[in-house]
Amino acid sequence: NAGVMQNPRHLVRRRGQEARLRCSPMKGHSHVYWYRQLPEEGLKFMVYLQKENIIDESGMPKERFSAEFPKEGPSILRIQQVVRGDSAAYFCASSVRQAAYEQYFGPGTRLTVT
Amino acid sequence: GENVEQHPSTLSVQEGDSAVIKCTYSDSASNYFPWYKQELGKGPQLIIDIRSNVGEKKDQRIAVTLNKTAKHFSLHITETQPEDSAVYFCAASEETSGSRLTFGEGTQLTVNP
């Protein structure tokens, strides 16, 4: 059983470039959450998606950040015109349904903006 | 919104001793409380969780207790081993928020051999 998969594991971008982070949930899971972890801090919720729907994006910055979870393929977190403050670890978690609560995390993508 | 506080931020114990990490939450509607273990360079791993209709849950060397009245919950690790060394996070969520997790700031546990 494959767990939650994220790629790339490490991503380096220069200021002003775009970053695309991908997440494939566990088999059978249709709910995806994205969290951001700044150095030596806890994880902060960004966005919650189901297939083709954004359910809650209250934790995501209004500008430059967007997320999608298409009918086919992985969930994508997109950061446009990256700045140094975007450097962090971005984690994706999946669950089988909303009310199931248990969320299983992927290994994360560590974004470095130079 | 929910706020979760976690203490201590660092904890050092001798191998074989017990470790206790405590968390408090602010939203009385929260009804699910998981604990995650994060090793360096890896994603958080769910190690135990508890729902609000239960006061205590145990799984081998780890246990979690919940006091809904006081709005706090704790992780207990007995007979600690060096491989228990990691950062531990508590979290809280409630169904109407879409089950998004609000995390504490983490506890760096070091088990000295």
Per-residue pLDDT tens digits for B79-104: 999 999 999 999 999 776 667 899 99
Query: Which range is least confidently modeled, A12-26, B14-28, B73-87, B92-106?
Result: B92-106
Residue A61 has pLDDT above 90, yes or no: yes
Look at B32 and A98 and tell me if their CB atoms are within 8 Å. Answer: no
- pLDDT reported for residue A99: 63
Cα within 13 Å of Cα(A45), Cβ side: 27
Per-residue pLDDT tens digits for B60-74: 999 999 999 999 999
> B residues 51-70 near A, CB within 8 Å?
51
Contacts of B45 in chain A (CB under 8 A): 105
Q: Which two tokens stand for residue B10?
A: 């660092």
- pLDDT reported for residue B45: 96
3-state secondary structure of B96: helix
Q: How far apart are CA A13 and CA A17, in angstroms?
A: 6
Helices of type H across chain A: none
* Reported confidence tier of residue A39, pLDDT bands at 50, 70, 90: confident
What amino acid occupies position A83?
Answer: V
- Count the Cβ atoms, other than its own, within 10 Å of residue A72: 6
3-state secondary structure of B2: coil
